[in-house]
Amino acid sequence: MFGKPFSVLATLAGAMLASTAALAQISDDVVKIGVLTDMNGPASTPTGQGSVTAAQMAIDDFGGNVLGKPVTVIVGDHQLKADIGASIARRWYDVDQVDLIVDVPVSAVGLAVQNVANERKRLFITHSTGATDFHGKFCSPYAMQWVFDTRALAVGTAQEVVKRGGDSWFFITDDYAFGHSLEKDAASVVTKTGGKVLGSVRPPFATPDLSSFVLQAQASKAKIIGIAGGPPNNMNEIKTAGEFGVFKGGQQMAALLALITDIHSLGLPTAQGLLLTTSFYWDMDDKTREWSKRYFAKLGRMPTMWQAGVYSSVIHYLNAINETGTDDPLKVAAKMREKPIEDFFARNGKLREDNLMVHDLWLVQVKSPEESKYPWDYYKILTKISGEDAFGPLDPACGLVKK
Whether residue 145 has pLDDT greater than 70: yes
Whether residue 401 has pLDDT greater than 80: yes
Rg of the chain in Å (alpha carbons): 23
Same fold across 27-148+285-351 and 151-278+361-383: yes
Share of the chain above pLDDT 90, in %: 86
Whether residue 11 has pLDDT greater than 50: no
CA distance 34 to 57: 14
Predicted confidence (pLDDT) per residue in 363-380, tens digit = 999 999 999 999 999 999
Predicted confidence (pLDDT) per residue in 34-52, tens digit = 999 999 998 999 999 999 9
- The hierarchical CATH code for the domain 151-278+361-383 is 3.40.50.2300
CA distance 70 to 325: 14
Contact yes or no for 58/318 (Cβ under 8 A): yes
- Type and span of the H or E element at 101: strand 100-103
Q: How far apart are the first and last CA of the chain?
A: 66
Look up the CATH superfamily of 27-148+285-351. Answer: Response regulator (3.40.50.2300)
Say which amino acid occupies 159. Q
For residue 1, the model assigns a pLDDT of 44
Predicted confidence (pLDDT) per residue in 147-187, tens digit = 999 999 998 899 999 999 999 999 999 998 889 989 999 99
Any idea where the domains of the chain sit in the sequence? 27-148+285-351, 151-278+361-383
